[in-house]
Amino acid sequence: MKLSERIGNGERPFVIAGPCSAESEEQMMNVCDEIGKNQSAQMLRAGIWKPRTRPDSFEGIGEVGLKWLVDAGAKTGLPTTTEVANAKHAELALQAGVDVLWIGARTTVNPFAVQEIADAMRGSNVPVMIKNPVNPDLQLWMGAFERFEKAGIDDLAAIHRGFSVYNHRKYRNVPSWEIPIALKENRPDLPLICDPSHIGGRRDLLLEISQKAMDLNFDGLMIETHPNPDKAWSDAAQQLTPSNLVILLNDLVLRSQEFSTDVADVINDIREKVATLDDRIFDILSERMNLSEQVGKLKRENNITILQQEHWKKVIGSRLEKSDDYGLTQKFVRQLMDAIHQESIRHQTSIMNSDKK
């Protein structure tokens, strides 16, 4: 069966575990053996070539590590996967017998590199998982899948690992969940795996991110697992021991997408009320736009600019003060008022430009 069918149809989540980097034969055997024994994962991962941000970091053990990964796969009976960043990596990984290749976030951004790997894999029927590019560019991510498909490789899956930002307070890579959700809308055929390790960058965030991914119906999780995380040669802060991986997976709450009919009836009643409220919101907004248009006419007749900065500052200030009273966040009220303001400016602009004399 194709990997993409196994991931999408099996029991959720499909878990890929193993170290950020293969460091030694002993480390690989140790961690993979434990993952195999505690049956926490359906696939083993290990980075062999590591595209690191700064040149003085550990850049991967290289070719020798491929054998350790493949041996760990044979011993545990689990399929294996590693990251390839160029055609040479892909050829070596295929020769060594790695079962699935993945394209890292720093490679997905580069269409030439993606094309080169797709060409090197032409004719093999090895599955490929593609991480999102480091920047939140849905088209670039979709383009990478298309390059593999054009090369005849159609057993594909997507891995969401978050997007680069400068000095974020919480995340190493912000999740921007709307991007994987949009990928799913465009490509419902692709299984979607979340990599909470690279999103969080810290092990204490792994459960929260994994739970969110499950609540958004992701199919699987890729979680970095190391026998002694604090001593890992790369990504020490985010790796988990195999026994903590078991705890994390047990703590996940897997909610169903289906409702029982009783619950569905109650929910449908509430949804109808929500739809009625939405209609009222639109009525009110339309009334508000009528008032804006009246102001727009007066501005036109009196030759006044549409944007009145000082007035708008006062409006925003007074509305933000009320946000607490309505149980709304200031952030939401700000976004809502900005959207209303922009629409109102559009209405006034069309008044300004209509039947000019």
**Which element (helix H / strand E) includes 232?**
none
Query: Could you say whether residue 161 binds ligand PEP (CB under 6 A)?
Result: yes
User: Whole-number minimum distance, CB 20 to Mn ion, in Å?
Assistant: 3
> Looking at beta carbons only, is 6 or 45 nearer to Mn ion?
45
Minimum distance from residue 14 beta carbon to Mn ion (Å): 19
Binding site for Mn ion (CB under 5 A): 20, 235
Instruction: State how far the Cα of 326 lies from the Cα of 312, in Å rounded to an integer.
Output: 21
Instruction: Compute the least distance from the CB of residue 212 to Mn ion, in Å.
Output: 20
Interacting partner of 347 out of Mn ion, ligand PEP, none (Cβ under 5 to 8 A depending on kind): none
Does 104 interact with ligand PEP (rule: CB under 6 A)? yes
**The Cα angle at residue 201 between residues 37 and 208, in degrees rounded to 5:** 70
| CA–CA separation, 53 and 153 (whole Å) | 29
Neighbours of 344 (CB within 10 A): 20
N residues, the chain: 357
Number of residues that bind ligand PEP (CB under 6 A): 8
Separation between Cα atoms, residue 236 and residue 178, nearest integer Å = 28
Stretch that binds ligand PEP, among 55-63, 98-106, 181-189, 340-348 (CB under 6 A): 98-106
What stretch of H or E contains 92? helix 87-96
203 binds, among ligand PEP, Mn ion, none (CB under 5 to 8 A by kind): none
In this chain, which stretch among 101-109, 174-182, 256-264, 282-290 interacts with ligand PEP, using CB under 6 A?
A: 101-109
Q: How far apart are CA 287 and CA 277, in angstroms?
A: 15
Tell me if 89 contacts ligand PEP by CB under 6 A: no
Which residues on adjacent β-strands are paired with residue 100? 81
Is residue 198 a contact point for ligand PEP (CB under 6 A)? Answer: yes
- Select from Mn ion, ligand PEP, none the partner in contact with residue 240, using the beta carbon and a kind-dependent cut-off of 5 to 8 Å: none
Q: How far is it, in rounded angstroms, from Cα 84 to Cα 107? A: 9
β-partners of residue 15 are: 221
Q: Of ligand PEP, Mn ion, none, which one sits near residue 333, judging by CB under 5 to 8 A according to partner kind? A: none
Query: Which DSSP letter does residue 240 get?
Result: B
Which of 40, 173 has the CB closer to ligand PEP?
A: 173
Asked whether position 296 contacts ligand PEP by CB under 6 A, the answer is: no
160 binds ligand PEP (CB under 6 A): no
Shortest gap between Cβ of 69 and Mn ion (angstroms)? 15
Cα–Cα distance for residue pair 262/259, rounded to 1 Å: 8
Shortest distance (Å) from residue 235 CB to Mn ion:
4
How many Å separate Cα 262 from the centre of its chain?
33
Interface contacts to ligand PEP, rule CB under 6 A: 20, 47, 104-106, 131, 161, 198
